[in-house]
Amino acid sequence: MRVEYINPFVEASYNILKEVLNSEVVRGELYLKSSSTPVLGVAALVGLAGDVEGRVLFDMTKDTAIGIASIMNGEKLTVLDELGKATITELANLITAQAVTKLHDLGFKFDLTPPALFTGENMEISNSQVEALIVPMKLSCGKIEINVAIRERA
Protein backbone atom coordinates (compact mmCIF):
# COMPACT_ATOMS: atom_id res chain seq x y z
CA MET A 1 0.00 0.00 0.00
CA ARG A 2 1.33 3.45 -0.91
CA VAL A 3 2.80 5.15 2.11
CA GLU A 4 0.87 8.33 1.31
CA TYR A 5 -2.38 6.48 2.07
CA ILE A 6 -1.38 5.24 5.47
CA ASN A 7 -1.30 8.39 7.54
CA PRO A 8 -4.70 9.75 6.50
CA PHE A 9 -6.34 6.55 7.73
CA VAL A 10 -4.35 6.40 10.94
CA GLU A 11 -4.97 10.06 11.72
CA ALA A 12 -8.65 10.01 10.83
CA SER A 13 -9.24 6.92 12.99
CA TYR A 14 -7.39 8.44 15.90
CA ASN A 15 -9.05 11.85 15.68
CA ILE A 16 -12.61 10.64 15.19
CA LEU A 17 -12.45 7.93 17.85
CA LYS A 18 -10.96 10.31 20.36
CA GLU A 19 -13.60 12.91 19.59
CA VAL A 20 -16.70 10.73 19.65
CA LEU A 21 -15.68 8.63 22.64
CA ASN A 22 -14.29 11.61 24.50
CA SER A 23 -11.55 9.50 26.07
CA GLU A 24 -7.98 8.42 25.50
CA VAL A 25 -7.27 6.28 22.42
CA VAL A 26 -4.01 4.37 21.99
CA ARG A 27 -2.79 3.27 18.63
CA GLY A 28 -1.07 -0.10 18.45
CA GLU A 29 1.69 -1.02 16.04
CA LEU A 30 0.74 -1.12 12.37
CA TYR A 31 1.35 -4.28 10.41
CA LEU A 32 0.58 -5.97 7.12
CA LYS A 33 -1.46 -9.08 6.58
CA SER A 34 -2.40 -11.08 3.54
CA SER A 35 -3.99 -14.15 5.03
CA SER A 36 -7.60 -14.63 6.00
CA THR A 37 -8.47 -12.79 9.18
CA PRO A 38 -11.09 -13.77 11.71
CA VAL A 39 -13.65 -11.06 12.32
CA LEU A 40 -14.31 -10.36 15.97
CA GLY A 41 -18.09 -10.24 15.74
CA VAL A 42 -19.12 -6.87 14.38
CA ALA A 43 -17.62 -5.55 11.14
CA ALA A 44 -18.42 -2.33 9.32
CA LEU A 45 -17.23 -2.23 5.74
CA VAL A 46 -16.73 0.77 3.47
CA GLY A 47 -15.73 0.27 -0.15
CA LEU A 48 -13.31 2.58 -1.98
CA ALA A 49 -13.27 3.39 -5.66
CA GLY A 50 -11.74 5.99 -7.93
CA ASP A 51 -7.99 6.05 -8.68
CA VAL A 52 -7.78 2.94 -6.57
CA GLU A 53 -9.90 0.00 -5.53
CA GLY A 54 -10.19 -1.37 -2.05
CA ARG A 55 -12.06 -1.34 1.20
CA VAL A 56 -11.82 -0.38 4.83
CA LEU A 57 -13.10 -2.74 7.48
CA PHE A 58 -13.72 -1.79 11.09
CA ASP A 59 -13.64 -4.88 13.23
CA MET A 60 -14.64 -5.17 16.89
CA THR A 61 -16.35 -7.48 19.36
CA LYS A 62 -20.04 -7.14 20.08
CA ASP A 63 -19.30 -5.86 23.59
CA THR A 64 -17.01 -3.16 22.22
CA ALA A 65 -19.65 -2.19 19.65
CA ILE A 66 -22.29 -1.90 22.39
CA GLY A 67 -19.86 0.11 24.51
CA ILE A 68 -19.11 2.54 21.69
CA ALA A 69 -22.77 2.91 20.76
CA SER A 70 -23.64 3.58 24.42
CA ILE A 71 -21.10 6.37 24.70
CA MET A 72 -21.99 7.93 21.35
CA ASN A 73 -25.71 7.94 22.14
CA GLY A 74 -25.33 9.03 25.72
CA GLU A 75 -27.46 6.16 27.02
CA LYS A 76 -26.69 2.68 28.30
CA LEU A 77 -27.44 0.07 25.66
CA THR A 78 -27.53 -3.62 26.60
CA VAL A 79 -28.02 -5.20 23.18
CA LEU A 80 -26.86 -4.23 19.73
CA ASP A 81 -30.20 -3.01 18.43
CA GLU A 82 -31.04 -0.95 15.33
CA LEU A 83 -29.80 2.21 17.02
CA GLY A 84 -26.52 0.56 17.98
CA LYS A 85 -25.97 -0.79 14.50
CA ALA A 86 -26.71 2.57 12.92
CA THR A 87 -24.22 4.18 15.29
CA ILE A 88 -21.39 1.82 14.35
CA THR A 89 -22.19 2.29 10.67
CA GLU A 90 -22.04 6.02 11.13
CA LEU A 91 -18.69 5.78 12.94
CA ALA A 92 -17.24 3.85 10.00
CA ASN A 93 -18.59 6.47 7.64
CA LEU A 94 -17.12 9.34 9.68
CA ILE A 95 -13.63 7.87 9.82
CA THR A 96 -13.48 6.84 6.17
CA ALA A 97 -14.89 10.15 5.01
CA GLN A 98 -12.31 12.12 6.94
CA ALA A 99 -9.50 9.93 5.60
CA VAL A 100 -10.75 10.37 2.05
CA THR A 101 -10.95 14.13 2.54
CA LYS A 102 -7.34 14.18 3.71
CA LEU A 103 -6.31 12.09 0.71
CA HIS A 104 -8.19 14.46 -1.57
CA ASP A 105 -6.12 17.33 -0.19
CA LEU A 106 -3.00 15.35 -1.11
CA GLY A 107 -4.24 14.96 -4.67
CA PHE A 108 -5.65 11.44 -4.59
CA LYS A 109 -9.21 10.93 -5.75
CA PHE A 110 -11.17 8.34 -3.80
CA ASP A 111 -14.92 7.73 -3.74
CA LEU A 112 -16.55 5.69 -1.03
CA THR A 113 -19.52 3.38 -0.97
CA PRO A 114 -22.20 3.48 1.73
CA PRO A 115 -21.09 1.43 4.72
CA ALA A 116 -22.42 -2.05 5.32
CA LEU A 117 -22.53 -3.72 8.72
CA PHE A 118 -22.01 -7.42 9.35
CA THR A 119 -22.60 -9.18 12.64
CA GLY A 120 -22.26 -12.83 13.49
CA GLU A 121 -20.11 -15.52 15.00
CA ASN A 122 -17.05 -17.15 13.43
CA MET A 123 -16.83 -14.84 10.48
CA GLU A 124 -13.69 -14.56 8.42
CA ILE A 125 -12.55 -12.00 5.90
CA SER A 126 -10.38 -13.14 3.05
CA ASN A 127 -7.49 -10.94 1.91
CA SER A 128 -6.08 -13.48 -0.46
CA GLN A 129 -5.46 -11.21 -3.44
CA VAL A 130 -4.55 -8.01 -1.66
CA GLU A 131 -2.40 -7.06 1.26
CA ALA A 132 -4.16 -5.34 4.15
CA LEU A 133 -2.79 -2.78 6.56
CA ILE A 134 -3.96 -3.36 10.11
CA VAL A 135 -4.32 -0.36 12.42
CA PRO A 136 -5.16 -1.56 15.95
CA MET A 137 -6.78 1.00 18.25
CA LYS A 138 -7.18 0.48 21.98
CA LEU A 139 -10.20 2.21 23.47
CA SER A 140 -11.61 2.47 26.96
CA CYS A 141 -14.30 -0.05 26.01
CA GLY A 142 -12.24 -2.55 24.03
CA LYS A 143 -10.29 -2.51 20.78
CA ILE A 144 -11.05 -1.82 17.15
CA GLU A 145 -8.96 -3.20 14.32
CA ILE A 146 -9.05 -1.07 11.21
CA ASN A 147 -8.22 -3.21 8.21
CA VAL A 148 -7.35 -1.17 5.11
CA ALA A 149 -6.78 -2.89 1.77
CA ILE A 150 -6.16 -0.64 -1.22
CA ARG A 151 -4.55 -1.29 -4.54
CA GLU A 152 -3.95 0.88 -7.59
CA ARG A 153 -6.25 0.16 -10.45
CA ALA A 154 -4.30 -1.72 -13.06
Partner 1 sequence: MSNAAGSLVLDGADQKEGQEHNNQIDFKMVTFSLSGKDYGIDIMKIKEIAKFSSFTYVPNSAPYVRGVYNLRGDIISILDLRILFHLPVDKKAENEETQNGLILSLDENVIGVVVDSIDKVIGFSSAGIQPPHPIFGDINIKYISGVVENEGRLYIILNAERICAKDDSVRKAADSALPAAADTAAAAVSAETYQEPQSYGNSLAAEPERDFIRETLKTFKGFSITPVNEEWFTGRFAEWKEKKKQQGADLQLKSADDADEYLASYYSADTGRFWEDDTAARYTRALAAQSGKIIQAWSIGSGKGFEAYSFAAILARKYPGVMLKVWAHDNDLLAISTAPNLVFNDDELPEFLGPYIVMGKNGSSFQTEFKNKIFFEYHDALHPNSLPELDFIMARDVLPFFSQEDQARLFAEFHEKLKPTGLLFLGDNEKPLDSSRWAPVSGARAVYKKS
Chain residues binding partner 1 by CB under 8 A are: 1-4, 6-7, 10-11, 14, 27, 29-30, 32-34, 128-131, 133, 151-152, 154
Neighbours of 19 (CB within 10 A): 10
By CB atoms closer than 10 A (0-12, 13-18, 19+), residue 16 is buried
Choose between 71 and 133: whose C-beta lies nearer to partner 1: 133
Least distance to partner 1, CB of residue 35, Å: 9
The answer to whether residues 62 and 42 touch, using CB atoms and an 8 Å cutoff, is yes
State how far the Cα of 105 lies from the Cα of 8, in Å rounded to an integer.
Answer: 10
Nearer to partner 1, 4 or 111 (CB): 4
Beta carbons of 131 and 2 less than 8 angstroms apart:
no
